[in-house]
Each structure stands twice: as C-alpha cells, then as structure tokens.
Structure 1
C-alpha cells in the first residue's frame, strides 16, 4: 500500500493538467499513487491525463458532474494510503513537497494533516507578488482552530491529510477545503512546512473566482461555523471575527436585519470587539453598502434562504 494517495479532481483544465501531473511525477518521495478523477470535462483533459504512462497513475471519469468536493470524496473512497494529498488540476508542486510533509507527519503522529506555504502564479506559471498567507501562523506545530474559525489562508493543494476521519462536504462547491481543515483541527493539530512548495495558479477559469454563488455558499458556511463555535464555546475572538464577516456578507446581500443579528452575536461573544459596531451601522443602509462594496451585485436575501443548512456537529 502506498504511503500517499494523490487525488487530482479534474475539470476543464487541459491546458494546466499536464504540469500538475508532471509535478507529481517529479516528487523525490516516490511512494505514492495518483488518481485523476475527471468531472465530465468538455475539453481534452482525459486525453491529457491518459497520455502519461506510469503504473502509479489511474485516470477515471465521473458518470455525472460531482463538483470539486464530490470528486475529492470519491477519490478518498477509491484510494488507499496512510495519507491523502489533494492537487487541484491547475496547480503544481515543488519536487520536495511530499517528502518534507511525510517526514514532518512521521515526527508528529498526533497531527491530522500538514500544509506548506505557497506562491500565487499566473496562467504561464510565473510567480505573482501577492502574499497569499499574510500573517497566517507558520509555526511547525500550532493551534490553528482560532484562525480557521473566521478565515482560511491554507492553499488547498498544499495539504496532506492523515486519512483517518477525512471526509469532504459534497454539497459545497467552493469552501469544502475550509470545512475539511476545520474538521481536521478537531481531530489533531495541523503541522506546517514553512516553505513555499505549492503553486496556486490564477487564471480566467478558476473555480475560486468570487462570484455570486460563492458568496452565497460563504454565508451558509459561516453560519454553520458560527453555530458550531457558539455551541462548542470555541475561541471567542475567532468566533466574533467570523460573525463580523458574516454580518458584512449580509450587508452585501441587502439583508439589514440578518446583518444586525450577526453583529450583535459578535458583540455578545466578544464584547470588546469594536468592528461589530461598524458593521451594525453599515447594516442601516444595506443597499448603499452593497453598491459601494460590491458594485453590480444584483441579489438579495431571497437568494440565500432555503439552502440546506450545514451540520458541523458530526
């Protein structure tokens, strides 16, 4: 059985898929298998994947479009290996990535996963200057749950998970990696290789580009995180920051009442958090705020409600 099962959820990235697979083949850690799961791509992604002749590589196609996290969950169920590494079909790795992560996980058997730092790259692979991590903690071992309660700055393609307990929320199309990391933190710490070993490619066809459906899903995810954090009495500052961000999202969607409720929940959670009052004031003029903060956004609260709630208590 291989130590690392690499899963590439592939959709319509034929131009970049070859580089992703080549970066797996170039790994100094050779104890891996690669499963490329094509999600009904309309381009020639399947042909690109099948052009690689290596017995460690399997290429399968989904019978129907499952989305990124549906494909990743199917990949988890169809592979073996102590560790699971996700590589998006338009991203790529440095050759030492897996070796350094496996070594660190071996030193920390209590860890649920390991991530690396990374670069943002353009369509041609050239490094962009933006810092995708900002002030994100990069200690080898640390408690990341307070940070993950309100944001995720871990690159999805940088993570190697320990398989035990790993599952992806298949109803999500944009935020499933965030939820998987939160769940991992509840099983054990996440450890970090503080080197830029992952490349997050930015181009016109990224599924992450912030569009209306992604913002709607973010509200759903933040509501679920808030409900879990409040019931579990998780870190108060992280919970309050999540609620403040949730309040701002409701402002964008023109729901002043929901924005005020989220802001007051933040104040109850962490009374000294002053930004909550600013969100509350913005909520008094939600349409104006929405036009200022997100020009051209044509949607309202009716686009958010009726979605199946997420349950993070499982």
Structure 2
C-alpha cells in the first residue's frame, strides 16, 4: 500500500445531522497526493459511528475508523487521532464542519511542501449560522497578499484560526508536542500555539472551510461571557506550557479578560463574535474545474445599481465564468438584492465590518480560480460582448498581461449624461496602444488613463506582483498599472465603449472632486511616486527616459538613483508639481549620504545650494485640462449642483496648479483656502 502524503483526521461526537456533508467534502477532494482518512469518533450515541462504518465499507478511500472507547473528551480524542495518522501532513475536519472547496487538501499540502519553514497552514473560514443561513468571513487578515505568515506572538494576541477544520499540520511538529498539552482541555488555539514553537503558521486567503454555528456546538452555542470565562480559566495553564515570548502575550490577554469581565459584565451574555448578516445566502462552494474568467465585484451600499451590474456579467456572451461578489458590510438592502440571484456561477461573501475597497477587492481576487480576472464596480455595467472582445484581443496578442477598454458615461438613472454633465476628461479612456516604455513615460507625465472596471488581466500578475494597496483609496489601481507595464505589455481597446461608467451625484464616486478626495489624491500621488521605479529594469528605464537623462549610460545603482531623482525634478510635464515634491525628497536623501553626495557634486555639479535654488523655483507647466479647469474657476463656472468628477491624476494637478505661485512656506494655510475654492465650499 502506498504511504499517504497526508492524513485527514475526521473528529466526531454526535454529528449525525451533519456528517454526510463532512463525508461528501472529503470524497470531493481533487488532490494529486495520496491521502488516508482516520476517523476518531468520541463515543457517539446518535448513529454517527454506524454511518461512518458504512462509509468506510463502501468508499474507495483508505479509511480507518478507530476502535470504540469510553468518552474521552475533546483533547484526548484528538490525541489518539493524531497518534494514529501515517501521513507527513495531518488535516483536521470536525464532523459538524465541511470543506467547501475541492482544492482544500491540495492547496494546503502544496503550501507546506513549498514552505518547509512553516509548521502548519490554515485557511479562511465561512462562519455559517445554521439557524438563519447567514454567513460571514474569518479571519480579517491577509487582504494585501496571496499568502501570509503568523507567528506565535500574533496568534497569542488573537486566535486567528477559527477552527481545527481550517488547519493542516506537519506530523513531526505534532509528535514533538509535550504530552501535557493533551492532558488539559486544549482547544485548537492551544494546540496551534504549541505547534508554532516549531515554525510559523502559513495562512492562505481562500475560503476553503465552512464552520457551522449551531445550538449543538460546544463552542458556537456559548455566549460571549461563557467563552471569556472558559479562556480565563485555561490561560494560567496555557501560560505555564508556552514559550517565554508567548507567555508575555497570554499574560496580557489574561489581564484584559479579567478587566473586561468586571467592566462589561452587563453586555457579555449576548452571542459571541461578530453577528453575520441576517440575509440567507447560498454556501459558496468551489466545485468543478476552474472557469475561463473570474469576475470580481465589490459592493458597498449600492442597492440601487447592483442588480444591473450583476445581470450585465451573468448575461455576457462568454458563459464560462464565475462571479465573485464581496459585500463590504453594506448598511442598505444590497444583500437582499444579491440574494435574489440563483445562478450557480455566483459566489457571494460578506464582511461584518467595513474593510475598505481595496481589501474587499483583494479578497475577491484571492478567491478567483480562472486564468483571467475581470473587475467590475457594483454601480457600473458592461456591454454584453465585453468579455468576448477582450478574450479575442488576448488571442490576437498572446504576450499581453491585460486588456482594457474605453467607457461611456451614464448617470444614476443609467441614461447617457446630458452634455452639460459630461466631464471635460471624458475622452481620457480613449487611449492608443503603446509599448511598455511608452506607457511608463505616459504615467510619469500624465497620471492614470486606464479604466479600472474595464480590465481583464491575467491572475498570474497578482500572484507574482501583488494585490491592491488598501492604504490608498484614490490610486490603488494606478499603482498596479505602473507595476503591470514594467513586466507585461498591455492592450487597450480605446475606441470601444464596453463599460457603462456611472457618475453619481453628491460626490459619491471615489474619483469625485470632493475636498477629501483632492487632499487624499495628493498624498497618494506622492506615495505612488515613491515606488514608481521599483522593479523597473535598467533597459526599460533607459528606453522610456533615456532621451531626457543627463547620463543614460549609467552603470551602478547609485548612478541610477541620481538619474531618477533628477528626472523627478527636471522633466516638464502635466505632473511636474507632484513629481518635483518627490524628487526634492530624493535629492535630499542623496545629499545626505556620503557616497551619493560626492557623486552628485562630481558628476552633476549638484550641491546643497543647488537644492536650495531648486526648492524655491516655481513650476509653470500644466496640462490643457488643468488650464481649462482654472479658466472655468476664474469665470465662476464650477458646475455647482452637478457632478464634478475627475480622474485622480487631474485632482492632484488642479490643486498644484492653483498653488503654482505660492511660496512653499505658505502652503499649509493657503492649501486649505485653495481646496475650499476647488470644491466650492
């Protein structure tokens, strides 16, 4: 018999009501690695054991049902299951939970094979309220990357891994645990803390496990007060068994629980943990082969438009797709609208607390399975042949990393905007195709010009180069496009308006020209500039900017750094003002380093006095759009009472242009006055 790579440890006690779902989820696993199943039933009296024996008799899987024994309790039952496993890795499934992805075992085995430094790996969990059908997601970590590590100190602060059923362990780490761990009531938290003494935990962000919250669950039925009290009683012994660094965190937690028991005694009898949405949604199971396209949609309070957005995806002429909808804790009736759809290609997830647009989008991308990922906003819509046109473009241009389209602007009612409401930048998405170097130069000089809800992009880009930065609200997509063109060519269907881009009144769009958005866009442009050239090859840098470099034949990294700093300050363009702010920062750093300070003096004749002069020099270059906008302001044409939206690049240019004759020392006070003029407040 082939030795199993992994063992599935199925742990049960009176789970007859749910055991068939657990069995089915094991049987459905699409795993190239051989695995066995060990069943540790803790003296069930409801027929669970008989059902498991019948399964072992009829299944083609390698199944061992451990001998009957008197009731052992949670900890000792786990101990005998772990000791009976033959696999290198051990995945746990409790009998009232289930795995909702056919890839659960494969993904976790692959992770541990690729990360020998990790002692275990966990996944995200769908917390499912069995009485209402409502659900929420846990844990709220790892939104910014495709995998995350958690050390013992961080796990001691919060039990991030909600259930054993989310976990897979290295068998040798479990074997090294002190027997004392299993001589006390060790819930998954204590076992995981003990295992992490032998290596951090890996965390993969896919929702692969369903954790049932039901009246028969030993933990899920407990109130917040009861859970706190159980943990408080166990912590002293946990502290004794833990490593010194974990002891510090557990001691702090013990003090916090003791204080909370006193201060919040009146409110601790309610349900424990976050309450899921009361709207019942289908369980989002990932079954079957990956589709050709994964469409990701995030929503926040878009009840009025989300039905049209979803329909425009599901009605596409390309039918081989999945639609992943993520609601970022909407307070309106969005979920009621979404729940009316019954298309099996949809998977819907909901956050209990608002995480931010980029985090919600990242979560959706983390759940995507297809080669291509398409992004759509829940207040926009697509033309029905949109995806087909983009897939055709990929066929014709197989080397590109993404295909974008243009858009037409509609109002809240879905109708084309009246001429007086069409923004002056309405042609910004009608871009011609450029080389990677030309796009990098364009972004440097002009800011963003690509329509985010039009993109169809290879998922491999996000895997290799990262997800959106939730520290940004205005420019997370622009930040990704800069990285994209440094590694892949792109293609733009600039003459095809395949997206209906909705402009909302009352400055509700993320790109709306509100005071907060203007200030935020300012700051984010500087943040984007800080890593604009990260990962850019010398060849691409020279191809894009060699004609304006002082010395395009640089050899060493310090020479490259000097050339880039001077580019930020010296290249006239529509974005000169914010570019130069970052450039001055770079020059100050270079002059503060002994080696680069000497290089700046000898190679470029640039000294501290040069910096003083440059910092006091005005910049007059601005785009035609900015000049037009300023002219409108001077004539009182501020479009008050109507939507006034601009791409985020324009937002930054507007204010910089308004301040072009203001001494630097006067910026903070003058900025407030100018910003108020910008938004008519």
2:453 aligned counterpart, secondary structure: helix
CA contact (8 A) 1:8 1:35 kept: yes
Q: 1:248 aligns with which of 543, 560, 577?
A: 577
Change (3 A) 1:88 1:276: farther
Distance in structure 1 (CA, Å) of the matches to 2:392 and 2:335:
33
Deviation (angstroms), 1:264: 8.9
Alignment partner of 1:152 out of 448, 459, 462: 448
Matches for 1:222-237 after TM superposition, within 5 Å: 222-225=529-532, 233=541, 235-236=544-545
Q: Is the 8 A contact 2:294 2:324 kept in 1?
A: yes
| Aligned with residue 66 of structure 1, among 344, 355, 366 | 355
Say yes or no: does 1:18 pair with 2:307.
yes
Instruction: Give the TM-score normalised by the residue count of structure 2.
Output: 0.38
Q: Work out whether residues 112 and 184 of structure 1, in 8 Å CA contact, stay in contact via their aligned partners in 2.
A: yes
Q: CA deviation at 1:173?
A: 1.9
| Mapped partners of 1:228, 1:119: distance in 2 | 34
Of residues 487, 511, 515 in structure 2, which corresponds to 1:187?
487
Q: Which residue of 1 aligns with 2:498?
A: 197
Matched ranges for 1:68-107 at <5 A? 68-107=357-396
Which whole-Å CA distance do the structure 2 matches of 1:199 and 1:98 have between them? 14
Q: Answer whether contact 1:149 1:182 (CA < 8 A) is retained.
A: no
Structure of larger gyration radius: 2
1:161 match: 457
Q: Contact conserved, 1:247 with 1:259, CA < 8 A, in 2?
A: no
Q: 1:207 aligns with which of 488, 510, 519?
A: 510
Cα distance 1:259–1:85, how it changes in 2: closer, same or farther (>3 A)?
closer
1:14 to 1:26, Cα distance in 2 relative to 1, 3 A: same
Q: Shift of residue 27 of structure 1?
A: 0.8
| Comparing 216-225 and 94-103, the one that deviates more | 216-225
Q: Name the SS for the 2:391 alignment partner.
A: helix
In 2 relative to 1, CA 69–291 (structure 1 residues): closer, same or farther, beyond 3 Å? closer
Q: In angstroms, what is the RMSD of aligned CA positions?
A: 3.6
Q: How does 1:287-298 map to 2 (within 5 A)?
A: 287=666, 290=671, 294-296=675-677
Q: 1:246 to 1:192 in 2, by over 3 A?
A: closer
SS of aligned partner of 1:117: strand
1:285 aligned partner: 663
Instruction: Give the alignment of 1:255-270 within 5 angstroms.
Output: 258=581, 261=584
**Partner secondary structure for residue 127 of structure 1:** coil
TM-score, normalising length: structure 1: 0.77
Please identify, of 6-15 and 186-195, the stretch whose mean Cα deviation from structure 2 is larger. Answer: 186-195
> CA shift at 1:126, angstroms?
1.9
In the aligned structure 2, how far is the partner of 1:114 from the partner of 1:61?
A: 29
- The alpha-carbon deviation at position 247 of structure 1 amounts to 5.7
Contact 1:264 1:276 in 2 (8 A): no
Q: Distance in 2 between matches of 1:135 and 1:102?
A: 19
* Residue from 302, 316, 324 that aligns with 1:35: 324
How many residue pairs align between the two structures?
A: 283
Deviations 1:43-67 (A, max 9, x none): 1111111211101011101243221
Deviation at 1:75?
Answer: 1.1
| 2:294–2:369 CA contact under 8 A, matched in 1 | yes
- Indicate the residue corresponding to 1:306 in structure 2: none
1:138 aligns with 2:432: yes
Question: How much has 1:40 moved relative to structure 2?
Answer: 0.8
How far apart in 2 are the matches of 1:184 and 1:14? 33
The residue number in structure 2 matching 1:124 is: 413
Q: Distance in 2 between matches of 1:132 and 1:242?
A: 26
Distance 1:46 1:223 in 2: 39
1: CA distance, partners of 2:406 / 2:341 = 28
Aligned-partner SS, 2:295: strand
Per-residue deviation, 1:132:
2.7
User: Which piece of structure 1 moves more, 281-290 or 213-222?
Assistant: 281-290
SS in 2 for 1:9: strand
Per the alignment, do residues 242 and 63 of structure 1 end up closer, same or farther by CA in structure 2, a change over 3 Å counting? farther
Q: Deviations over 1:92-141 (max 9, x none)?
A: 111110000011112222100000011122111122344533485323x6
Gaps of 5+ in 1: 251-256, 269-274, 299-314
CA pair 227-57 structure 1, distance change in 2 beyond 3 A:
closer
Which consecutive unaligned segments of at least 5 residues does structure 2 have? 1-289, 549-563, 589-603, 605-616, 622-655
Once the two structures are superposed, residues 266-304 of structure 1 have per-residue CA deviations (whole angstroms, 9 ceiling, x without a partner) of xx9xxxxxx974269936535487467533589xxxxxx
Q: 3-state SS of the aligned residue for 1:15?
A: coil
Task: Find the aligned partners of 1:125 and 1:135 in 2 and give their Cα distance.
Answer: 19
In structure 2, how many angstroms separate the alpha carbons of the residues matched to 1:262 and 1:133? 34
